[in-house]
Amino acid sequence: MKSLKIYEYKNCGTCRKALKYLEERGVAFERVPIRETPPTKTELKAMLKSYHGERKRLFNTSGGDYKSMNMKDRLPDLTDEEAIALLSENGNLIKRPFV
């Protein structure tokens, strides 16, 4: 069985809970630091598709970068491609953990 790829931030409580849950159940996974190595555009597009095009669900709306970049106001005007490009360049903007 192929292991899951989990993009996580080590100081994120939600990420720690998710990893603990997987470990307790013996699920194999690969940890990837989301800030240093954000998901690829292909991975982000696949997640966007699974969210039925709801771009906002990909974004960490409570994060500092989201707020400082004024994404709440900018997001509605972005195309999917622009949103994906932004996320692929800045892992802090991505809702985590990203599986």
Range of the domain at 61: 4-93
Cα Rg of the chain (Å, integer): 14
Q: Is residue 48 part of a domain?
A: yes
Q: What is the mean pLDDT of the chain?
A: 95
- Tens of pLDDT, residues 22-54: 999 999 999 999 999 999 999 999 999 999 999
Is pLDDT at 1 greater than 80 in this prediction? no
Domain-embedded: residue 62 = yes
Residue 98 lies in a domain: no
Amino acid 89: pLDDT: 96
| Cα distance between residue 70 and residue 27, in whole Å | 37
- We report the CATH number of the domain holding residue 20 as 3.40.30.10
For residue 79, being part of any structural domain is answered with yes
Q: How confident is the model at residue 3 (pLDDT cuts 50, 70, 90)?
A: confident
In the chain, the DSSP E strands lie at: 4-8, 29-33
Number of domains in the chain: 1
In a domain, 99, yes or no: no
**Do the domain assignments include residue 72?**
yes
In the structure encoding, which two tokens stand for residue 96, read together? 């985590």
32 compared with 1, residue with greater pLDDT: 32
